[in-house]
A and B are shown apart, each in its own frame.
Chain A
Amino acid sequence: MRRSVAALVGVAGGMLAGAAFIRRRTVDRDRVDLYYQDGSMVSLSNGSPGADRLLPLAREILRKTR
């Protein structure tokens, strides 16, 4: 009885950890990289003021081209 409870708790914990990992990866993926002529690059991660304006436009473009 104890063993099966421990196994269930283990499986549930693993699923939660996996879900958190996948969620984190997805959130990290959303970003905008801007490259300038002088060789500099600015990376705007999801949540930053610039990315908040650019990412919805990018999503709209992707939906339109599908």
Chain B
Amino acid sequence: MDAQQALADLTEISSQIQAAVVFDEQGKVAASTLEEGRADALAEGVGRLLEQALDVKVGAGGPLIQLEAATDEGSVFVVADGPTRIAATTAPDPTVGLVFYDLKSALRSIAAKPAARRPTPKKPAAPKKTTGAKKKPAPRNKKTDAT
């Protein structure tokens, strides 16, 4: 999916997201909900934030894939998938899990290219099982005592 379309879908789905930008490792903006100058500033700021975050190593393992910076003015979210990054800003006290989920979904939809459909090999039809079918017990008739 086109990055701009993915961001349009993202802001439509998530009312918590105020601004979002998709950019690469070099800070090149692929799509944004902001106008060009502010989008570049957001990407550049988030790039610096990521750089500083990479320096923080408190016994953590593996590369940094997600970040949330929460302040009284709002929150900044960043999700990285290989060279592609998506960043978003929200109002204070967002639903963190939901925002991360929406950002990851947007990134996935950008990464997913419309691949040509491969014909799936047909499995030979399994023979129908006729044995082992349990016989239903006959329903009990209710006693109709007319006394």
Q: Could you tell me which A residues sit within 8 Å of B by CB distance? A: 26, 29-38, 40, 42, 44, 50, 53-55, 57-65
Contacts and interface: CB of A to CB of B under 8 A. Distances in A.
A33 B67 contact: yes
Q: Lowest 5 A-B CB distances belong to which pairs?
A: A37-B62, A58-B69, A35-B66, A50-B56, A38-B62
B56 A44 contact: yes
A1 B53 CA distance: 60
A32 B19 contact: no
A62 B73 contact: yes
Contact of A34 (B53, B76, B92): B53
A62 B74 contact: yes
Nearest to A30: B71
Contact of B60 (A31, A40, A54): A40
A64 B32 CA distance: 14
A36 B18 CA distance: 25
B1 interface: no
B98 interface: no
Given A40-B60, A50-B58, A59 B42 contact: no
B111 interface: no
A57 B73 contact: no
B69 A32 contact: yes
B65 A30 contact: no
B70 interface: yes
A55 B67 CA distance: 12
B61 A65 contact: no
Contact of A36 (B61, B69, B76): B61
A58 B42 CA distance: 10
A29 B72 contact: yes
Nearest to B43: A61
Interface centre among A26, A38, A54, A60 (most CB of B within 10 A): A54
